[in-house]
Amino acid sequence: MSEARFPIGVFDSGLGGLTVVKELIRQLPCENIVYFGDTARVPYGTKSKEAIVRFSHENARFLLKHKVKMIVVACNSSSSFALESLRKAYKLPIIGVIVPGACKAVGMSRKKVIGVIATSATIHSGQYARTIKNIDKNIKVVNQPCPLFVPLAEEGWYDNVIAQQAAKKYLQPIVQSKADVVILGCTHYPLLRNVIQRAVGPKVFLINSAKEIAQEVKDLLKKMGLLNTQGHRGKCQFFVSDKPQHFKTLAKRFLGCAIKNVHKGSGACMN
């Protein structure tokens, strides 16, 4: 089989990476995708750097068993702490979520003030701020951890009173900074886009990193001659390290459509 027909591998700590899968399907409908969600150890945002790096390598090795042609690290915490280590360990292209979103944000900001909202681990890594500063050292970066956004998204509480109050509280420093662009630095956060947008105001541009990473995947596959040009629609396989039925139930919220099968993976924490 031609290498172009090999699947794209995507991993995340749980469900959030499905927002990346949704964009990959939209922008690259012919590509086959293998997704791994490490639901047994979610969330990564509260774990140590050492644990996140170890989990990320285990997830990558699981995807490699499925002969993937590329790995997309859909977890912001893994992208913050493990991306360089993964790239050194494996020969295939590996893309994280931070650089595409940061590049888009710098290009969109006119006031040179960018807000970053993410999990505590991603914020504390400082990776978004460093990446943005490397592109334009004159930009001010306002970091704000929003730990409650992940459970709110997974509960389906996208726009109720609790979500609205959390968004107003968390995003007050962003509003006060007069940032004109805000990066949604966690793959769960696009589900809360409406409540976040109202909290920061209609003039603030929100960056959904899932859209930017899908575009980067498309560009890189074209450049490497690995774009799947077969006329039929690609297939998606979903694996998790725990609770496949629970994942299947919640996946519809992230993908916008139901999935038929979710398999319990034999890699990751079962290595």
Distance between CA atoms of 37 and 244, rounded to whole angstroms? 10
For 179-202, the pLDDT digits (tens) are: 999 999 998 999 999 999 999 999
Task: Give residue 266's pLDDT.
Answer: 55
Q: What are phi and psi of 205, to 5 degrees?
A: -90, 125
User: In the chain, where does the domain assigned CATH 3.40.50.1860 lie?
Assistant: 3-96+211-270, 98-209
Mark the ranges of the chain whose per-residue pLDDT is less than 70: 1, 266-271
pLDDT value of position 183: 97
Is the domain covering 98-209 a CATH 2.115.10.20 domain? no
State the pLDDT at residue 271.
43
Largest Cα–Cα separation, the chain: 55
> Facing residues of 142 across strands?
115
- For residues 15 and 13, give the distance between their C-alpha atoms in angstroms, rounded to a whole number: 7
Q: What pLDDT is recorded for position 130?
A: 96
Edge-to-edge strand ranges of the sheet holding 236-240? 94-96, 70-73, 8-12, 33-37, 236-240, 263-264
CA atoms within 13 A on the CB side of 100: 24
Taking the domain 3-96+211-270, which CATH number applies?
Answer: 3.40.50.1860
Q: SS3 string of 198-247? A: HHHCCCCEEEEHHHHHHHHHHHHHHHHCCCCCCCCCCCEEEEECCCHHHH
Question: How many C-alpha atoms does 217 have within 13 Å on its Cβ side?
Answer: 34
Question: What pLDDT, on the 0 to 100 scale, is given for residue 257?
Answer: 86
Cβ–Cβ under 8 Å, residues 247 and 44: no
Comparing CA positions, the residue from 218, 222, 226, 115 lying closest to residue 174 is: 115
Burial of 110 (0-12, 13-18, 19+ CB in 10 A): exposed
* Torsions phi, psi for 237 (to 5 deg): -115, 140
Looking at residue 191, the DSSP 8-state letter turns out to be G
CA 15 from centroid of its chain's CA atoms: 10
- Residue 96 belongs to what H/E stretch? strand 94-96
Q: What is the predicted pLDDT for the residue at 167?
A: 97
pLDDT digits (tens, 9 = 90+) for 65-80: 999 999 999 999 999 9
For residue 115 the two structure tokens come to 């807000």
- Would you please indicate which residues are annotated as catalytic (active-site) residues? 75, 186
